[in-house]
Structure 1
């Protein structure tokens, strides 16, 4: 089993405590398994977090009470214990009663294609119960992770499961992995025609492979990654006009329209929610994926 580097962060707020534990996956899993994050939150009131489109597929295994999930602007309608969140083009909102304990696995979408063995378009804009993808193995995994005495052993259990599934699942095409990497590195700035040329595929074939192995068309994936780049720039203090120009939007109004359509917020409103946060909320360092928003007392 590969060695794990584990980092911890914790804090106390006026409402309670939180602790995050980050783990590095076994190197044999490759660059498609981006990281593990254990979490434990103990607050005296409900918590609500908005998750914006971010280019990640996330597997979540909860040890505590289920999380209620909805689309932004709608009342929570579905409760999940453990789930897989596919690539999104709109925002999702998760709400819990203040106590959470579990682990997240962050995946590149082409790696999720191999690990879960389903066309990724089936997960687009969806949160799927883990049991639908792993079968009875999901409950076994939940039980073993909950009983494990510490985070390194939990991460080792995840390594073992993912290595097994990596060996058995369908491999993503190298051209898909390359094209996704180009889009990621450019913040969605590479034209689809250039991606097709680089893969040696026709634009139509590239789109078919992307929908199967990524979950979105190249054009839609570029929109998501362009939004992520804009979020990073805005959160870093860049002006909206400069951000729009750098990220390939026609103008500032175009940035605002896409931002609201994909997150449910105006840029300034979203950043205000992030500024009110008393603990880290983003899935991965260097990305802007989430914000804490007010939740009603129960």
Structure 2
């Protein structure tokens, strides 16, 4: 795996590029948990299979290149042991500009990237696959994304500001208060979040609170402290929310993360952030 930050013109909206070429001796299955970001995977070879999400069939979605929008629930992704491509992690309002699609259509689901890039995906994939070296590939992606941002729709400046307010208050913020701080009505805030984020402000707050609790849990904080810091009603509320977003209890999730901890961290979407668990098969 090779990681690089995108060109400064693309930051902070695009967080990272990660080139990967995996060759395991057996199929792999990952539990993906809500990450608070949008993931775009451009695959060069074998398809990936994702199960779970809004409106998903029991068979899931199978495609080489995909987009995973903001999630409030877990999903499962797998491959036959081999995978080759690039993953791009970005803020949802940046994905709105690049993909030119209402983000609520991508929320809690995974879709084939072919359906979103105006017919340009085959050319982009071929160019990336044929370009020698990850550095040159990332530079090609820089150019592609700069063009998409320059010619795509504008994002409302208040959306990132409202997101930061929700993150700072960890689920305690009232949507009306957040809307007032960015100069909008509560209805306008809801409408712009549905379009440019994909989730309501209340759902975003749930995900951000879960992300904070996950960091505290891995750092060894007791459940009672997590409840107080993150603003859960009580421990039962915390356990229920955690299971809804992971299908696991906190203790089971930690135990599975500790199995092959180095590989677990390498396969997370973003450095220093827990986004998945590699499951034993």
Instruction: Assess same fold via TM > 0.5.
Output: yes
Pair 1:248 & 2:231 matched: yes
Structure 2 Cα separation of the partners of residues 235 and 25 of structure 1: 28
Pair 1:48 & 2:29 matched: yes
**Displacement of 1:178:** 0.9
Whichever structure has more strand as a proportion of its residues is 1
Equivalence for 2:5: 24
**Displacement of 1:152:** 0.6
**Displacement of 1:139:** 1.0
Equivalence for 1:9: none
**Displacement of 1:188:** 4.2
**Displacement of 1:47:** 0.6
Equivalent positions of 1:1-298 (< 5 A) are: 20-71=1-52, 76-277=59-260, 278-279=262-263, 280-295=266-281
Structure 2 Cα separation of the partners of residues 291 and 272 of structure 1: 10
Structure 1 Cα separation of the partners of residues 79 and 208 of structure 2: 28
**Displacement of 1:270:** 1.2
**Displacement of 1:291:** 0.7
SS at match of 2:26: coil
* 1:103/1:235 CA distance change after superposition, 3 Å: same
* 1:37/1:188 CA distance change after superposition, 3 Å: farther
SS at match of 2:116: helix
Greater than 6 Å deviation, 4+ residue runs? none
Q: Is the 8 A contact 2:52 2:60 kept in 1?
A: no
Q: What TM-score does the superposition give when structure 2 sets the normalisation length?
A: 0.94
Q: Is the 8 A contact 2:268 2:275 kept in 1?
A: yes
Q: Is the 8 A contact 1:189 1:226 kept in 2?
A: no
Structure 2 Cα separation of the partners of residues 168 and 60 of structure 1: 22
Contiguous gaps of at least 5 residues in structure 2: none
Cα RMSD of the aligned pairs, angstroms, is 1.7
Q: Is the 8 A contact 2:61 2:111 kept in 1?
A: no
Q: Is the 8 A contact 1:187 1:228 kept in 2?
A: no
Q: What TM-score does the superposition give when structure 1 sets the normalisation length?
A: 0.89
Count the aligned residue pairs: 276
